[in-house]
Amino acid sequence: MKISGFLMTVLLLGGLGVADAQQPYDRPQVVTIRVARTIKSVTYRPNSGQTTIGMQGTALIPLAKGQLRVQNKQGVTYIEGEINKLEPATKFGGPFLTYVLWAITPEGSVNNLGEIIVNGTSGRIKASTNQQSFGLMLTAEPYFAITVPSEMVVVENTILPETLGKIEAVDAKYELLERGKYESGVFAPLPIDPKVPLELYQARNAARIGEWLGIDKYATESWAKAMIELKNAEGYQSRKDSNRKSVQMTARDAVQIFEDARVIGLKRMDEERLANERRAAQERQARARAEAEAETQRRKEEEEARKREEEARRRAELEREVEAARRERAEAEKMKAELAVAQEAQRRAEAEAARARAVAEQELARKTADEAKRREEEARQSAEMARKAAEQSRLAAEQAAREKAELRARLLQQFNAVLDTRDTERGLVVNMGDVLFDTGSFTLRQLAREKLARLSGIVLNYPGLRLESEGHTDNVGGEAFNQKLSEQRAGAVRDYLLSQGIPADQITSSGKGFTMPVADNKTPAGRQQNRRVELIVSGEVIGTKIGN
């Protein structure tokens, strides 16, 4: 189901934070602070004319208010207007210096629409975005180029009676981005000199935040470039004939590079943490293998000792049997010597023994018959138990097959709600047409990213699924060009799904060029059908084919 707009519950995860005020300056601990907010999202239809949306201050600046004019022209949404009764961002303490306008989509992605400069108590807004459905909010930030919003939301959009656009109330939660909150003991407010451009203070802010995070140790090249730009800006400012525009431009370049370095550094920190975790896991596995081998060796030695003891016991038993046999022979010889005087008694004993044997044989026959009946009953009971076990196994197999068929049908329905999907012998085939890429390119369009983000949310709920991204082209152009383009498009889809949290061992990609057309390449419509990326979803959890 495509959602045009809605009232979405957003989990805003705030900025950098310190878990313990006693931590050293150069060793921060990042903690997550979740701030639940609601914001109304509006779908601005293309070429439907200009509309107006309200902007209302939050509890941080309750008197702030304004109106924005919004219009979508040929896929680009233009935003223009003014917010009044704003207060300086520095009132919030710490490193906050400026305001940034954000667009939040229903899928939970955020987009920095630019810095809002406050002149007196008013801030002019003039921005644009390729997004069609979004909500707007204004936050206090340490510098203009920040790529994640802080929890300091001062203004957010409101729906006016004259606002045009489809609005739906949907109870949905989205985690946008993770940051903690700035600890005032580390980031004391900067003393602001009106003669110094605000951009220079933002560059200094970006530098001390990056230094506190240790970015200089993880993004050394970008950090060095940013420091050079900051030094140049400081140099321009220190001149007696300083040019304010030169300071501003150089400082803004420094801010942007500092932010790029921060993003790179945090990514590498996370990679280092994951590498350490993997190394620790490997060490644990190695220890476990060594312990298992030691346990196996111990058991082997115990088994050999047991065998030796058993062999000694058998030899001792044999010796006892030999000794008993010897004593028996001696006793027999003694009895033979006495046989002459005991023949009559022996005959009587033999007769009595014969009678006893007859009685014993009868008793043995009875016991044998009883034992046969008992074994027959046990065999019957065993057969009955085997039959019941076989029936339970059959029912379990049928249940497993039904569950796989139901899961496959449910996945087919969920995928079809996002992109055209068909069921084949290979698995569920999700089709991404050529319109989801820039012409002749492998760059994913925003719509493609949104649909892939929704697909990844479905796939992550079923860890047993396997994905294959296949790129296909028409036959226009050379074979080598089309082969490479198909591989690049398939790879772009795979890379984006990886960025959404799909494990690397669950997804592969390949390019087929124009070797597997699904339509006639002689017509434009056929060629367009052949330009596609197919995502094949398979796995043991969805069983066999369930239909066309």
**Separation in Å, CA 429 to CA 414, 426, 536:** 13, 8, 5
As a whole number of angstroms, the distance between CA 332 and CA 310 comes to: 32
The dihedral over CA atoms of 485, 487, 493, 494, expressed in degrees to the nearest 10, equals -160
Q: Are residues 100 and 243 in the same domain?
A: no
Beta bridge partners, 508, equal 468
Q: What are phi and psi of 424, to 5 degrees?
A: -130, 175
Q: What is the pLDDT of residue 548?
A: 41
Q: Residue 24: how many CB atoms within 10 A of its CB?
A: 6
pLDDT at 242 over 50: yes
Comparison of pLDDT for 174 and 268, the residue scoring more: 268
Q: Are residues 16 and 158 in the same domain?
A: yes
How many domains does the chain divide into?
A: 3
Q: What is the pLDDT of residue 182?
A: 54
At residue 440, the 3 state secondary structure works out as: coil
Mean pLDDT across 366-391: 85
Output the domain CATH number for residue 46.
Answer: 2.60.40
Which of 280, 297, 328 marks a domain boundary?
280
**Cβ neighbours of residue 537 closer than 8 Å, sequence gap 6 or more:** 411, 415, 427, 428, 429, 430, 459, 465, 466, 467
Q: What is the pLDDT of residue 544?
A: 52
Q: Are residues 211 and 171 in the same domain?
A: no
Model confidence at 32, pLDDT cuts 50, 70, 90, reads: very low
Mean pLDDT comparison of 226-235, 396-405, 425-434, 538-547, highest-scoring range: 226-235
pLDDT at 171 over 70: no
What's the pLDDT tens digit per position in 484-513?
999 999 999 999 999 999 999 999 999 999
With vertex at residue 206, the alpha carbon angle to CA 237 and CA 212, rounded to the nearest 5 degrees, is: 125
As a whole number of angstroms, the distance between CA 263 and CA 146 comes to: 10
Is residue 389 assigned to a domain?
A: no
Percent share of the chain, pLDDT over 90: 47
Q: Are residues 418 and 480 in the same domain?
A: yes
Is residue 289 assigned to a domain?
A: no
Q: Are residues 133 and 12 in the same domain?
A: yes
At residue 101, the 3 state secondary structure works out as: strand
As a whole number of angstroms, the distance between CA 70 and CA 49 comes to: 9
Q: Which token pair is 527?
A: 């060629």
pLDDT at 180 over 90: no
Model confidence at 191, pLDDT cuts 50, 70, 90, reads: confident
SS (H, E, C) 104-165: ECCCCCEEEEEEECEECCEEEEEEEECCCEEEEEEEEECCCCCCCCCCCEEEEEECCCCCCC
Is residue 387 assigned to a domain?
A: no
Mean pLDDT across 30-45: 65
Q: Are residues 216 and 169 in the same domain?
A: no
What's the pLDDT tens digit per position in 77-133?
999 999 999 999 988 887 899 999 999 888 878 899 999 989 999 999 999 999 988
Q: Are residues 219 and 273 in the same domain?
A: yes
Is residue 386 assigned to a domain?
A: no
Mean pLDDT across 19-44: 52
Is residue 490 assigned to a domain?
A: yes
Q: Which token pair is 342?
A: 């005991």
Q: What is the pLDDT of residue 66?
A: 95
pLDDT at 257 over 60: yes
Q: What is the pLDDT of residue 27?
A: 40
Is residue 499 assigned to a domain?
A: yes
Which of 241, 257, 280 marks a domain boundary?
280
Is residue 115 assigned to a domain?
A: yes
Look up the pTM and report it.
0.49
Q: Are residues 109 and 231 in the same domain?
A: no
Range of the domain at 119: 7-175
Output the domain CATH number for residue 528.
Answer: 3.30.1330.60
Q: Are residues 158 and 245 in the same domain?
A: no
The dihedral over CA atoms of 459, 462, 466, 468, expressed in degrees to the nearest 10, equals -10
Q: Which token pair is 286?
A: 């190695």
Task: Burial-class residue 88 by CB neighbours within 10 Å (0-12, 13-18, 19+).
Answer: middle
Mean model confidence pLDDT for the chain = 84
Task: Burial-class residue 473 by CB neighbours within 10 Å (0-12, 13-18, 19+).
Answer: buried
Q: Are residues 139 and 222 in the same domain?
A: no
Which of 249, 280, 311 marks a domain boundary?
280
What is the identity of the amino acid at 539?
A: G
Q: Are residues 254 and 133 in the same domain?
A: no
Model confidence at 303, pLDDT cuts 50, 70, 90, reads: very high
Burial 311-329 (b: 16+ CB within 10 A, else e): eeeeeeeeeeeeeeeeeee
Question: Which of 56, 23, 52 has its CA nearest to residue 38?
Answer: 56
Is residue 504 assigned to a domain?
A: yes
Q: Which token pair is 354?
A: 């014969």
Q: What is the pLDDT of residue 222?
A: 92
Model confidence at 352, pLDDT cuts 50, 70, 90, reads: confident
Contact 69, 50 (CB under 8 A): yes
Q: What is the pLDDT of residue 362?
A: 87
Q: Are residues 426 and 496 in the same domain?
A: yes
What's the pLDDT tens digit per position in 448-491?
899 999 999 999 998 889 999 999 999 988 899 999 999 999 99
